[in-house]
Every structure is written in C-alpha cells, then in structure tokens.
Structure 1
Amino acid sequence: MTITPDTLRSKILTFYPEITKLGIDLTVHFDQDKGAWVAQLAKHQHELITYIDPQDAMECLDDIECVHLGTQIGQFIFNYCSEGTECKT
C-alpha cells in the first residue's frame, strides 16, 4: 500500500477521534530530509510536531495503532486541552 498524506491523516483521525472532537488541526506531510512522516497538531498558539518513521506509518495504515503518535497526542491534549483550557468543546 502506498502512503499518502491524506491516507495517513485519515487513519490517524480514525485512531484518535479526540483530535477532531477537540478542534485540533492535524496536517501530515513527508519530510524528505528526515526520511519520515511529519504529523503536526495545532490549536490556537499551541503546536506539536512529531515524526513517524515510514515503517510505523505503514503499520498505522495496516490498522496497528500508532503508539508513539498516540503518546504525543495524549501529551498535547493533556497540556493544552485539559480542564480550564481553550480546547474544550
């Protein structure tokens, strides 16, 4: 299966629906220099950029949850979308 930014983004949103629920922006692209996929989360002035190696991206598309990415998303939500912050829906 070929990985595209749209297919990887869609799969990430399937695994982590809280991204959409909390109104967090997610963009995905491939960084040629780093040889890795880049997932960028943003909400207001807060931003998180995390890298996904091609093997992990392929596993993600094969319905194996992206554990490293899940940890990063969880930390972003904890830091910027916990009670009392502007991420609440």
Structure 2
Amino acid sequence: MSVNGPEIREKIMELYPEIGKFGLDIVTEYSDEKNAWIVTLVKGENTLYTHIENEDAKRCLEGEKCVYFGNQLMGFIDAYCTGSDACST
C-alpha cells in the first residue's frame, strides 16, 4: 500500500474530530531523512511537530487509530486548548 500526505491528513481528521472541533491546522509531509511522516498541528502561535512511522501510517489508513499520534494530539489539546480561549469552538 502506497501512502500519501493528503490521505493521511484526511484519515487523521476522520479519526480525530477534535482537530476540526478546536480549529487546529494540520499539515502532513514525508521526511526522507526520518523515513517517517511529519505531522504538524498549529493553533495560533502554538505548534506541535510529531511523526508517524510509515508502517504506522499504513495501519492508520487501514482504519486503526494512530495511537502515538493520538497521544500527542491529546497532549497538545490539553496544553493549548483545554481551559483557555485559544481553541474556542
């Protein structure tokens, strides 16, 4: 299975509706250097860079939750959205 950035972005947004709910921007791009997909979440001046290994990205596209990414996402939301007006819905 071939993996591409727009597919990963779409699947992540589908699996994690919190991204849309909190108005986060998400960018996915492949890093040859890291041999992984770099996922960037942005809300205002706050940015989180994380990565998804290629095999994990394939599993994610097959419908499994991207567990590591989910943990990173929840940490970002807890740090920058919960209890503040930064991510008002």
TM range (shorter): over 0.9
Q: Gaps spanning 5+ residues in structure 2: where?
A: none
Deviation at 1:84, TM superposition (A): 2.2
- Per-residue deviation, residues 7-51 of structure 1 (Å, max 9, x unmatched): 000000000011011110000000011110010000000000001
Match of 2:22 in 1: 22
CA RMSD of aligned residues (A): 0.7
Percent identical residues: 37
TM-score (norm 1): 0.97
Give the alignment's TM-score, normalised by structure 2.
0.97
Displaced runs of 4 or more, over 2 A: none
What amino acid does structure 2 have at the position aligned with 1:60? C
Number of residue pairs the alignment of both structures matches: 89
Q: Which runs of 5+ in 1 are unaligned?
A: none
Check conservation: 1:82, 1:88, Cα contact below 8 A. no
